[in-house]
Structure 1
Amino acid sequence: MNELRKYLIPGLLLCGLFAGCTSQPGSSEQSAEQNAENKKPKIALIMKSLANDFFSSMAKGAETHQQARSDEYDLVVNGIKDERDLSRQVALVEEMVSSGVDAIVIAPADSKALVPALRRAREAGVVVINIDNKLDAEILQAEKISIPFVGPDNQAGAKKVGDYLASQLKTGDEVIVLEGIRTSFNGTQRRLGFEAAMKAADIKIADSQSAQWEMSMANTLASSMLSEHPNAKAILAANDSMALGALAAVRNSGKAGEVLIVGFDNIPAVQQAIKEGQILATADQHGGELAVFGIEHALRLIANPNAKVEDRETPVDLVTAEVLK
């Protein structure tokens, strides 16, 4: 009997041990599947300069949306120091891919330079949504990728602003234009919108130069342009930061109240200037909602990877003193 127990008990212990081992992989696989099902997608929002109130508003809108839906997704918000810091924005794309995000929603600082980095993100399995500044169609085709654009018709928005300005001017009047970065699609489209409005009203564009979206550069350029074109009756700025720079130039030149100014973006400082009669009008592309539109589009594509990739046009509205009353 002792001999039987000598062999039987270790055998039973080994049997129990192996039985326990064979049950663990099953529960581990089940746990892994449950974790995968419960894993929230992580979305990276990559913007341009956070020093610009427009992008600060965009960030706040995205953060508010995520807080209300914190059980659905996680959010990482990034920005660059100024509109021209392309290398840093490329680096941010690469960092977000390395960190394992499921989607990138990006307002590219340049319509062409960011495309190769975004192609690599797509190849890594990351969903990419383009907002605010549309990526260049030819470069996308050359890189053999399709990235949906979620944003407004910038040309139509600029034309609304230009048409309103034209209604305050006379045929043959001269105006000057402060353009955005010329390699940015939205900068080009806004310039074309301004030009179309001025042409329709038979108003002459005496000068058009790029202030690269920057307030200080716009101030310097506008001062020089006003000096060179003393008969200019208005300044059309492709964003509100440049409109504020133009406003400072108009004041310094002693032409406050004589030279009308319009912008684009509807940032708080320009809203106040419109109320006070210092700036005539701007365009509201609803920056606080724009990133949210992109995030929601990304969540749809994460949930359904085989969904058709489509652009989505978002609203852009004229803002005047009458609107702000």
Structure 2
Amino acid sequence: MKCLVPLLLASLALISCKPAGGPASSTATGKPKVALVMKSLANEFFQTMAEGAKKHQSAHAADYELTVNGIKNETDLAEQVGLVDQMVSQGVQAIVIAPADSKALVTVLKRAKAAGVLIINIDNKLDADALKQAGLSVPFVGPDNRAGAKAVAEVLAKKLKAGDEVAIIEGVTTAFNGQQRKAGFEDAMNAGGMKIVTSQSGQWEMEKANGIAAGILAANSNVKALLCANDNMALGAAAAVQSAGKTGQVQIVGFDNIAALKPLLADGRVLATCDQHGDQLAVFGIEAALKVLKGKTTPADQQTPVDVVTK
């Protein structure tokens, strides 16, 4: 037993030399470790985002390691906060995050940055006032959601006439991208002289949007269109229109260009959507993070493409 004592003491000495707190400069392999923290993986858009990120890492396996995770639903803020803390404790060098809420994630991201973690914001922009109040600077890599939504709604405007009644089904009201998409829809509808009779939140979810759309159609018999802030909600709205026997009478537009929407675009149940290239959105953020980590650039905003998609 005595011969084991020096070995135990040596092991303890090695353990005590391990740096405490904050992420290491790289993983044991010498490669930086990047974490992708997304919103709901029940949403096809984020599944596509995750697959795109994994493919990029596989093609650049020598350059970095990747951890991919997301929350159960769009509104589970506590779970997303927990994921950020978990990634910091695991020693990642960068977190690329699509925040579920533009304000609620600022505090935990400030903690992460204080621990030495690089933060890159994608998809849903963090609130500028909340960042300023926290003394936090985080680059946003993502699309102009307002411009994209306006472009989609302009396709719809060509199918309507001034005075026609329309309704908006919003995303989570505290999400910046949801706010911007609503504003884009309003820009195009107001310019075309359409009447927005109501705007309600479907919280990005198909089932909730279905119920809201059904209620809107029942309360507003003259509604000619439903403008949905994502394709999940457009799918729910289309089902409500079909149940109300108004297919072809009520136009629908969405946002995201998910695969599940393509049959509805093909047969005209949905008029248009906006492709923000979900399979590349996380990749844009990851590449921006890697450039900063390698010292080749400083953190900066980067606008990514959006394209209108129709039949």
TM above 0.5 = yes
1:278 aligned residue: 269
Over residues 2-45 of structure 1, what are the superposed CA-to-partner deviations in whole Å (9 max), with x where a residue is unaligned?
Answer: xxxxxxxxxxxxxxxxxxxxxxxxxxxxxxxxx98960000000
Gaps of 5+ in 2: 1-25
Q: Does structure 1 residue 135 correspond to structure 2 residue 122?
A: no
1:313 aligns with 2:303: yes
Secondary structure of the residue aligned to 2:116 is: coil
Alpha-carbon distance between aligned partners in 1 of 2:27 and 2:285, rounded to the nearest angstrom? 24
Say which of 193, 209, 225 aligns to 2:216: 225
Q: Distance in 2 between matches of 1:184 and 1:56?
A: 19
Q: Give the letter for the 1:269 counterpart.
A: A
Query: SS of the counterpart of 1:261?
Result: strand
Q: CA deviation at 1:170?
A: 1.1
- Moved beyond 3 Å, runs of 4+: 35-38
The separation in 2 between residues aligned to 1:273 and 1:210, in whole angstroms, is 22
Q: CA RMSD in A?
A: 1.2
Q: 2:185 maps to which residue? A: 194
Distance in 2, matches of 1:162 and 1:51, equals: 26
The superposition leaves residues 172-224 of structure 1 with CA deviations (integer Å, 9 ceiling, x where unpaired) of 10001000111000000000000000000000101110111011000001000
Specify the structure having the higher radius of gyration (Cα): 1
Matched, 1:44 2:44: no
1:176 counterpart SS class: strand
Q: Distance in 2 between matches of 1:101 and 1:222?
A: 42
Q: Specify whether residues 302 and 184 from structure 1 end up closer, same or farther in structure 2 by C-alpha distance, changes over 3 A only.
A: same
TM-fit CA distance, 1:309: 2.2
1:208 to 193, 199, 213: 199
* Counterpart selection for 1:87 from 78, 88, 111: 78
Secondary structure of 2:66 counterpart: strand
* 1:159 pairs with one of 150, 154, 159: 150
Secondary structure in 1 matching 2:131:
helix
SS at match of 1:163: helix
**Residue 246 of structure 2 aligns to a residue in which SS?**
coil
1:302 paired with 2:293, answer yes
Q: Distance in 2 between matches of 1:200 and 1:308?
A: 39
Look up the equivalent residue of 2:165 and give its one-letter code: E
Q: Could you tell me how far 1:308 is from its partner in structure 2?
A: 2.9
Distance in 1, Cα, partners of 2:149 & 2:308: 9
Q: Which residue of 2 aligns with 1:178?
A: 169
Return the alpha-carbon distance in structure 2 between the equivalents of residues 97 and 309 of structure 1: 19
Report the 3-state secondary structure (helix = DSSP H, G, I; strand = E; otherwise coil) of the residue aligned with 1:44: strand
Q: Can you give the 5+ residue segments of structure 1 that lack an aligned partner in the other structure? A: 1-34
Q: State the match for 1:57 in structure 2.
A: 48
Q: How has the CA–CA distance of structure 1 residues 98 and 36 changed in structure 2, closer, same or farther, with 3 Å as cutoff?
A: closer
Calculate the TM-score normalised by the size of structure 1. Answer: 0.86
Letter in 1 for 2:240: A
Aligned-residue offset at 1:304 = 1.2
Could you tell me which residue of structure 2 aligns to residue 20 of structure 1?
Answer: none
Does the C-alpha gap of structure 1 residues 63 and 171 become closer, same or farther in structure 2, counting only changes over 3 Å?
Answer: same
1:245-281, CA deviations, whole angstroms, 9 ceiling, x for partnerless residues?
0001001111111100000000001122101211100
Q: Percent identity?
A: 58
Amino acid across the alignment from 1:249: A
1:63 corresponds to which letter in structure 2?
K
Greater share of helix? 1
CA distance in structure 2 between the partners assigned to 1:79 and 1:128 by the alignment: 16
